[in-house]
A and B are shown apart, each in its own frame.
Chain A
Amino acid sequence: MTIRKTLSTAIRALRRNITRSALTVLGIVIGIAAVIAMMEIGKGSSGSIAKTIASMGANNLQIFPGTAATGGVSFGGGTSLTLTAEDCEAILRECSAVASAAPLVRARPQLVYQDKNWVPTFVFGTTPAYLTVRDWAQLAEGDIFTDADVRNASRVCVVGQTLVRELFGGENPVGKEIRVKNVAFTVMGVLTPKGANAFGMDQDDILLAPWTTIKYRVSGQSNASTATTATTTASSNSADTTYPGAASVFPAASSSSTGDNPMPPRFANIDQIIMAATSSDQIRPAMREVTALLRERHRLQPGEADDFSIRDMTESANALASTTNMMTNLLLAVALISLVVGGVGIMNIMLVSVTERTREIGLRMAVGARSRDILRQFLTEATLLCLVGGLLGLALGRGAALMVQKFLRWPVESSVEAIVASIVVSAFVGIVFGFYPAWKASRLDPIEALRYE
């Protein structure tokens, strides 16, 4: 019996009892529709959950300069002057697993606005990329400073919600001028509230400014910095007394010491680089890439220790991974249950169908159908039903997911795997659950089948 004949026989048999076929298909339609809708809605939810957790910094990596040590005395983490803003740019340029990166210069100055003063927890000199890294791109008011501001060491800043409350008494600070350690800054924007971080620190108690401005105008020298040459800002504000470069802590190197140590001086070291991996599973590759790149840039010989350290947010990252895992497993369980229910429905109807069509089976055998022809016919019928049901269910499920997105505004994410899987699975369900009835049909004795009433 050729495939074409089997197919046409199966289709004819299904069309002969269109109501029963439709009812059988309904089970699979609902099953597959549930799977697709669940997958799309679930994936959307899990995606937005992952995004929420990621915004807490789960994908973030931090690079600190290494330890300086003299004569066996270590000065603790972050004391060597090895990280530069160029390192940060190089990472962004060359490490494919890194989505964004920003340099960080820390300070702890007092802020003054009119008659109020405040010392924020965080004063960060950085680039606009910082907000991307922290997943904080939306501003409540105004704008973030630009890369040009960073180049020019402009005296601009954006402030967090706590500062607005403490310093400005709740009024809109955009355009206002505040003094940071006697340097006047114009407030360009206000950050959206972010609340406390995992350790209870108020993340809204923050001021962000171009790192060049903080480093050269506010701190004069960063907490670890010594001799620096502000190449980028040399011409812009030489009259300013707080401008760096005026003071040199170290005496000028003698010609002999320059000869002994041909390393070019590192300009403009920064306190930290903060970066975000492209996704949670790219954290490890990102760490590998960055380590390799920085070792090369810092000209470290093999066997020499790193002059920097990279930290990831293991705790948050684990939370993210376990949440995503749990969501996936939950969805899988729901999908499996729906499919089993649909499959049992198919088996049920096919068994009824075999009983009801006993005489037909007997007749087919009497006119020359072999057992395997009967088996194939019933299997084909079941598989066809499941495939048709799968396709209808796919359409229905997608429709339902889109409706949910449109009317309930739930996040929905279509997934190609779910679509492919549901088609494959529905065919598989047809074969698996169709097999027992088909086998039963093929084992009928033609004599008894013909006499069946």
Chain B
Amino acid sequence: MPDDLVKLHDIRRTFHMGEISVHVLRGISLEIERGAYVALTGSSGSGKTTLMNLLGCLDRPTSGEYWLDGTEVSRLSSDARALIRNKKIGFVFQNFNLLPRTTALEQVMMPLAYTNTGLSDRDARERAAGLLKMVGLGERMDHRPSQLSGGQQQRVAIARALINQPPVLFADEPTGNLDSRTTAEILEMFDRLNRTEGITIILVTHDPTVAGHARRNIRLRDGMIESDTTREGPPKEINHHRRVAEIAE
């Protein structure tokens, strides 16, 4: 129990569209332990994106409890949730969401603008450079998104998601815009982050190949968990205490 990073209890989410109420999530309870590698799958309209938004603290459930890293976050104010997103959560999006006309290094440093650590400019720069090296873009720190391929852009986004050393990384269709070769590259990177850095990875996908990389596969249907299967993989080599910063240095 203490090692559960994510704990959901009877999460419901209802959208009101005029007179009609749409029950998108209808009582979801699950636990995800630290260091897990989870794929959320399901057909479109099954509620996986809504669940992802809730898990990512972008949205609040209509009812239910959500414990993230030991904190009940479902009733927090939007400012408090912004802080949680900044400190504890890394996001990777399908369309990368990089700032136009901004160098890779600045993209990665961007979340630090909203962090209240006494990190000096030089330290911030060093940490961002370390992460870019880790994702294999050490030579392209001054490149702008227009000068990078799709896979490279997604790697910049991954480095950005890791800048505040979050325990969990949420990825929403991270390979949806990539070809099969770069998809393999990105997935390999997720594998490595999960295996060697001990970062919990939760990704939403409808691609079975991508889902196949995860050790646990949660399948949603009509706002409820249809199946929750854990694949017997190779023994974990996770060192829980190793964090991104040490690797980046």
CB atoms of B91 and A367 under 8 A apart? yes
In the complex, whether A359 has a CB less than 8 A from a CB of chain B is yes
Tell me the number of A-to-B contacts counted with CB atoms below 8 Å.
Answer: 65
In the complex, whether A387 has a CB less than 8 A from a CB of chain B is no
Closest to A372 in B: B79
CB atoms of A368 and B100 under 8 A apart? no
CB atoms of A12 and B102 under 8 A apart? yes
> Across the interface, which residues of A come within 8 angstroms of B101, CB to CB?
16-17
CA distance A5 to B83 in the complex (A): 17
In the complex, whether B106 has a CB less than 8 A from a CB of chain A is yes
In the complex, whether B153 has a CB less than 8 A from a CB of chain A is no
Given known contacts A12-B106, A447-B53, A368 and B58 CB-to-CB distance under 8 angstroms: no
Closest to A373 in B: B114
Given known contacts A1-B114, A5-B113, A370-B114, A447 and B85 CB-to-CB distance under 8 angstroms: no
Majority-rule SS of B interface residues: helix
CB atoms of A368 and B83 under 8 A apart? yes
Which residues, 71 to 115 on B, are CB-close (under 8 Å) to A?
78-79, 82-83, 85-87, 91, 93, 97, 99-102, 106, 110-111, 113-115
In the complex, what's the smallest C-beta–C-beta distance from B199 to chain A, in angstroms? Answer: 16
In the complex, whether A371 has a CB less than 8 A from a CB of chain B is yes
Closest to B96 in A: A363
CA distance A366 to B93 in the complex (A): 11
CB atoms of A16 and B102 under 8 A apart? yes
CB atoms of B111 and A447 under 8 A apart? no
In the complex, whether A365 has a CB less than 8 A from a CB of chain B is yes
In the complex, whether B7 has a CB less than 8 A from a CB of chain A is no
Contact with B along A222-262 (1 / 0, CB 8 A): 00000000000000000000000000000000000000000
Which residues, 324 to 378 on A, are CB-close (under 8 Å) to B?
359-360, 362-373
Contacting A368 at CB < 8 Å: which of B87, B102, B106?
B87
| Residue among A9, A367, A370, A446 having the largest count of chain B Cβ atoms under 10 Å | A367
Contacting B111 at CB < 8 Å: which of A12, A367, A370, A372?
A367
* Number of residues of chain B lying within 8 A (CB) of chain A: 27
In the complex, whether B56 has a CB less than 8 A from a CB of chain A is yes
In the complex, whether A174 has a CB less than 8 A from a CB of chain B is no
CB atoms of B53 and A371 under 8 A apart? no
Contact with A along B25-69 (1 / 0, CB 8 A): 000000000000000000000000000010010110000000000
> Across the interface, which residues of A come within 8 angstroms of B86, CB to CB?
367-368
In the complex, what's the smallest C-beta–C-beta distance from B144 to chain A, in angstroms? Answer: 10
In the complex, whether A293 has a CB less than 8 A from a CB of chain B is no
Given known contacts A12-B106, A373-B114, A447-B59, A365 and B82 CB-to-CB distance under 8 angstroms: yes
Given known contacts A12-B102, A17-B101, A371 and B91 CB-to-CB distance under 8 angstroms: no
In the complex, whether A450 has a CB less than 8 A from a CB of chain B is yes
CB atoms of A450 and B114 under 8 A apart? no
CA distance A412 to B106 in the complex (A): 49
In the complex, what's the smallest C-beta–C-beta distance from B230 to chain A, in angstroms? Answer: 29
> Across the interface, which residues of B come within 8 angstroms of A368, CB to CB?
82-83, 85-87, 111, 114-115, 164
Contacting A366 at CB < 8 Å: which of B58, B83, B113?
B58
| Residue among A362, A366, A372, A450 having the largest count of chain B Cβ atoms under 10 Å | A366
CB atoms of B93 and A450 under 8 A apart? yes
Q: Which range holds the interface residue count of chain A? A: 20 to 34
Which residues, 12 to 54 on A, are CB-close (under 8 Å) to B?
12, 16-17
CB atoms of B102 and A367 under 8 A apart? no
In the complex, whether B155 has a CB less than 8 A from a CB of chain A is no
> Across the interface, which residues of B come within 8 angstroms of A16, CB to CB?
99-102
CA distance A370 to B114 in the complex (A): 8
In the complex, what's the smallest C-beta–C-beta distance from A366 to chain B, in angstroms? Answer: 5
In the complex, whether B160 has a CB less than 8 A from a CB of chain A is yes
Contact with B along A282-311 (1 / 0, CB 8 A): 000000000000000000000000000000
CA distance A360 to B110 in the complex (A): 11
CA distance A369 to B79 in the complex (A): 8
Which residues, 416 to 453 on A, are CB-close (under 8 Å) to B?
446-447, 450
Which residues, 154 to 186 on B, are CB-close (under 8 Å) to A?
160-161, 164
CA distance A359 to B79 in the complex (A): 19
CA distance A333 to B161 in the complex (A): 53
Closest to B160 in A: A367
> Across the interface, which residues of B come within 8 angstroms of A17, CB to CB?
101
CA distance A179 to B216 in the complex (A): 126
CB atoms of B56 and A367 under 8 A apart? no
Contact with A along B101-137 (1 / 0, CB 8 A): 1100010001101110000000000000000000000
In the complex, what's the smallest C-beta–C-beta distance from B141 to chain A, in angstroms? Answer: 16
CA distance A297 to B177 in the complex (A): 99
CA distance A5 to B119 in the complex (A): 12
CA distance A12 to B107 in the complex (A): 11
> Across the interface, which residues of A come within 8 angstroms of B161, CB to CB?
367
CA distance A363 to B93 in the complex (A): 10
| Residue among B91, B100, B111, B114 having the largest count of chain A Cβ atoms under 10 Å | B114
In the complex, what's the smallest C-beta–C-beta distance from A344 to chain B, in angstroms? Answer: 27
CA distance A382 to B97 in the complex (A): 24
> Across the interface, which residues of B come within 8 angstroms of A372, CB to CB?
79
CA distance A12 to B113 in the complex (A): 12
- Residue numbers of B with Cβ under 8 A of A are 53, 56, 58-59, 78-79, 82-83, 85-87, 91, 93, 97, 99-102, 106, 110-111, 113-115, 160-161, 164
- Residue numbers of A with Cβ under 8 A of B are 1, 5, 9, 12, 16-17, 359-360, 362-373, 446-447, 450
Offer 21 A-B interface pairs, CB within 8 angstroms, sorted by A: A1-B113, A5-B113, A363-B97, A363-B99, A365-B58, A365-B82, A366-B97, A367-B86, A368-B82, A368-B83, A368-B86, A368-B87, A368-B114, A368-B115, A369-B113, A369-B114, A370-B78, A370-B114, A372-B79, A446-B58, A450-B93
Can you add 5 more A-B contacts, CB < 8 Å, to A365-B82, A366-B58, A368-B82? Answer: A359-B97, A365-B85, A368-B114, A370-B78, A370-B83
Q: Which 10 pairs between the two chains have the least Cβ-Cβ distance?
A: A368-B86, A367-B111, A368-B114, A370-B82, A16-B101, A363-B97, A370-B79, A5-B113, A369-B114, A368-B85
